[in-house]
Amino acid sequence: MFQKKWMILATAAAALACAALVWATGTATDAKTAVNNSLKAMGADNLKTIEYSGSGADFSVGQAQNPKSQWPRFTNKTYIRQIDFNAPASRMQRVRVQGEKPPRGGGGQPLVGEQAQNQVVTDATQLNNELTTMLPYSFLRTAAAASDASAKETKIKGKTYTEISFMGPNKATINGYINAQGLVEKVETTIDNNVLGDTPFVITFTDYKDFNGLKFPTHILQKTGDWPSFELMITDVKNNPSVTIENPQAKGKGKGAPGGPGGGGAEAEVPTEDLGGGMYLILGGYAAVACDFKDGIYVVEGPQNDQRAEAIITTAKKLIPNKPIKYVINTHDHFDHAGGLRRFVAEGATIVTHEINKPYYEKIFKNPHTLVPDYLSKNPKKATFLTVKEEHKMTDGEHTLEIYHVQDSMHNDGMLMVYLPQQKIVIEADEFNPPAPNQPVTNPSPYWDVFYHNVDRLHLDYDRIIPIHYPADNRKVMKAELLRAVGKG
C-alpha cells in the first residue's frame, strides 16, 4: 500500500517536473515555444475578441505643473474597451473627470463636469502598433509573428523570467517578461518624444485573476519617461464576446476625406500681421511674435515641433531680413510650447525661460534622438540660456519688450508672459484661452482670474491680448474679452 502511494506521488511529481522542464526549455531557448506556452497558460491561445472594463486614470504627458512634478491626472470613472484582434479593430469608451484638485498643470484643465470619450481605431497599422504594448496577449501575438523574436532566461530582483525580445516597427527593441507561471508581467520599449527624445515606455501587468478561463491582469500601469501615463483597475472581462466595431468616420467619405483628390501644390504662405514698431505676429499654428531688434531677431515662443519652429524661423527671416535669430522666449516648459526649442538652439538662439526650467532643459537636451533624429541631433550645438525670475526687460533703445513671471499660475509654475509697451499688447500662453465670442460665460476658468490679477498687479497698459493658442476664427482678442470673461466688463 505504501509502495503504491509512493509510486503515485512519484508519477505526479515527475509529470510536474516534466511540465516545468517543457516550459523552462521553451522559454530559455525557443521564443515561439515560449510564446505559445504563455498563451496557453493564460488561456488566450484561442482569443479572438475581448471586452474589459473598470476604472482608472489617464495622465497628460508633458503638461506638468513644473519640471519635477508628474504628469497631471484625469480620473476615468468608467472605462470599457473592446478589441477584435483579427480585424483588427478597437473601441474605447470612457468617462473622464477632473483629477487634480485644485487644478494644477495643463492638458485641458480645469475639466468641468464629465467628459465622455468614444475612440474607434480600425487602421491596421496604427492599431497593431498600439496593441503590441497594450495587453499581454497582443504582445505575445506580435512576438509570435516577429521573425527576429528571441528568448532568454533573465533575473530581475532575484526572480527568474523568460525575456522575449524583438524589433518594433519604430526600430526600437521591445522586451516582454514572462514569469514562472507563464504570465506576462511587464513589457518595455523606447518611443520617440520630440522634447524628451528616446523615451522609456514601460507597461506592467499585475494581480492576475481568472475570468471564465482567461487569466487577465486586474491592474495595468503605463509609464512614459519617469511618470505614469495610464492606469487601469479591471473589474470585468468578457472572453471572446460578439463585437461589431465600425469606424463612423469611414461612412460617407467624400472628396474631402483622406485619399481623395487635392492636397498637392506649393506650400501655403504662413499668415502674418504687422503689429507696428518692428513687431510681427506669425500664425499658421501656435502663434509666435518676431521682434526686430538692432542685434537680431527676438522670437516669442518656439512651440510644437521642429516643423513649426522651422516655419517660424523662415517667416521671421523673411519679415526681418539679414539678421540672425538672437533669442527665443519660452513661455513655459509644456511640450506643446517647448517642442520647437531644439530647432532654435540649432539656429544659435539663446533660450529665455524661467529659472526653474534651465536645469531641466540642460538635462533633457542631452537625451539621444536616435529613433526620430531631429535638426539639433543632426546639427549639434550647446544650448545657452538667459533666465528670468520675476521680470526682465529687453530693449535696444528703440524696441522694447518686457517679460514677467505669472505669479500663482495654476497652469505652470514657471509661466512667463510678454508685454509690448509700445504696441500695448500682452502675449500669453494658456492663462487665457478666450471663450467663443458673444456667448455667455457659464464656466469661467480660475486660470483667467490668475492672468487678470497679474496684468492688474503689474499695472500694464494694454489694449490687446495675443494668446499663443490663437482663436480659430483668427479674431483679435481685445482687453474687453478678458474683462467680460472674469466678470469685470
Burial class (CB in 10 A: 0-12, 13-18, 19+), 3: exposed
Per-residue pLDDT, 439 = 78
Q: Where are the alpha helices (DSSP H) in 339-413?
A: 341-347, 358-364, 375-378
DSSP structure string for 473-488: T---EEHHHHHHHTT-
DSSP state of 120: E
Mean pLDDT of 336-346: 98
d(CA 489, CA 480): 7
Check residues 256 and 158 and name the one with the higher pLDDT: 158
pLDDT beyond 80 at 248? no
* Distances 123 to 120, 128, 131 between C-alpha atoms, Å: 9, 8, 12
Start-to-end Cα distance in the chain: 97
101-130 pLDDT tens trace: 999 999 999 999 999 999 999 988 888 888
- The 3-state DSSP class for residue 223 equals strand
pLDDT beyond 70 at 23? no
pTM for this predicted structure: 0.89
d(CA 44, CA 89): 18
Question: Closest Cα to residue 369, out of 350, 345, 387, 333?
Answer: 345
Q: Where are the alpha helices (DSSP H) in 64-201?
A: 124-134, 136-145
d(CA 103, CA 371): 34
DSSP structure string for 84-95: ETTTTEEEEEEE
DSSP state of 421: T
**Secondary-structure breakdown of the chain: helix, strand, coil percentages, each rounded to the nearest 5:** 25, 35, 40
Per-residue pLDDT, 442 = 82
Q: Is 173:149 a contact under the CB 8 Å cutoff?
A: no
d(CA 72, CA 52): 25
370-388 pLDDT tens trace: 999 999 999 999 999 999 9
Per-residue pLDDT, 393 = 98
pLDDT beyond 70 at 307? yes
Per-residue pLDDT, 267 = 56
Q: Which are the contacts of 415, defined by CB distance < 8 A and separation ≥ 6? A: 331, 332, 354, 405, 406, 409, 429, 430, 431
pLDDT beyond 90 at 485? yes
Of all residues in the chain, the percent with pLDDT exceeding 70 is 90
Per-residue pLDDT, 130 = 87
* Distances 227 to 157, 223, 230, 297, 449 between C-alpha atoms, Å: 21, 5, 9, 37, 30
Assign 249 a pLDDT band (cuts: 50, 70, 90).
low
Classify strands 214-224 and 197-211 as parallel, antiparallel or unpaired: antiparallel
26-53 pLDDT tens trace: 434 589 999 999 999 999 999 999 999 9
pLDDT beyond 80 at 364? yes
Least confident of 6-10, 35-39, 165-169, 344-348: 6-10
Give the cell for residue 464.
Answer: 490687446
Torsion over CA: 54, 55, 60, 61 (sign):
negative
Per-residue pLDDT, 250 = 56
Per-residue pLDDT, 437 = 84
Give the cell for residue 354.
Answer: 524661467
Question: Closest Cα to residue 174, out of 306, 31, 285?
Answer: 31
Per-residue pLDDT, 129 = 84
Per-residue pLDDT, 15 = 38
CA 477 to centroid of chain Cα atoms: 29
pLDDT beyond 80 at 16? no
pLDDT beyond 70 at 19? no
Mean pLDDT, rounded, of the chain: 90
215-245 pLDDT tens trace: 999 999 999 999 999 999 999 999 999 999 9
Q: What is the CA radius of gyration of the chain?
A: 27
Assign 60 a pLDDT band (cuts: 50, 70, 90).
very high
Domains of the chain: 16-250 (2.50.20), 272-485 (3.60.15.10)
Q: Is 176:154 a contact under the CB 8 Å cutoff?
A: no
Q: Is 360:353 a contact under the CB 8 Å cutoff?
A: no
Per-residue pLDDT, 128 = 83
Least confident of 2-11, 269-278, 417-426: 2-11
Type of residue numbered 259: G
Residue 297's CB is within 10 A of a number of other CB atoms, namely: 24
